[in-house]
Amino acid sequence: MNVNTGQLNRWRLILGSYSRNQIGFGDGASLENGISCMDLEEALDFLYHREQGEDVRRQGGTEASRLTAATWITRIRKLFPKETVEILERHALDRYGMTELLTDREVLEKLEPNQELLKTILQLKHLMKGDVLDTARRIVKQVAEEIAKKLNQDIRKSLLGKVDRNSSSPVRSIRNLDIQKTIRRNLKHYDRENDRLLLEQVYFNGRTRKYSQWRVVIAVDESGSMLDSVIHSAVMAGIFAKLPMLDTKLVIFDTQVVDLSSHLEDPVATLMSIQLGGGTFITGALQYCETLIDHPHRTMVVLVSDLCEGGSVSALLGVSRGIIESGAKLICLTALDMEANPVYDRHTAQKLADLGAHVGAMTPEALGDFMGKIMNG
- Cα separation, 77 vs 347, in Å, equals 47
Q: Is the pLDDT of residue 259 over 80?
A: yes
Contact 233, 206 (CB under 8 A): no
pLDDT bucket at 359, cuts 50 / 70 / 90: very high
pLDDT bucket at 184, cuts 50 / 70 / 90: confident
Which one is predicted more confidently, 297 or 29? 297
| Residue 371 burial (CB count, 10 A) | 24
User: The whole model's pTM is what?
Assistant: 0.66
Beta bridge partners of 36: 30
Which one is predicted more confidently, 111 or 171? 111
SS (HEC) of 94-121? HHCCCCHHHHCHHHHHHCCCCHHHHHHH
Of 18-27, 307-316, 342-351, the range with the highest mean pLDDT is 307-316
Of 50-54, 163-167, 177-181, 331-335, the range with the highest mean pLDDT is 331-335
* Structural domains of the chain, with CATH: 5-112 (no CATH), 163-208 (no CATH), 214-376 (3.40.50.410)
Strands (E), the chain: 190-191, 196-197, 214-221, 246-253, 257-259, 299-305, 329-334, 358-360
Which one is predicted more confidently, 183 or 10? 183
| Residue 289 burial (CB count, 10 A) | 25
Q: Is the pLDDT of residue 7 over 80?
A: no
Q: Is the pLDDT of residue 165 over 50?
A: no
| Residue 16 burial (CB count, 10 A) | 15
**So what's the pLDDT on residue 208?**
47
Give the model confidence (pLDDT) of 194-209 as tens digits. Answer: 788 777 777 766 554 4
Q: Is the pLDDT of residue 372 over 70?
A: yes
**Dihedral angle sign, alpha carbons of residues 75, 81, 86, 91:** negative
- Cα separation, 206 vs 189, in Å, equals 24
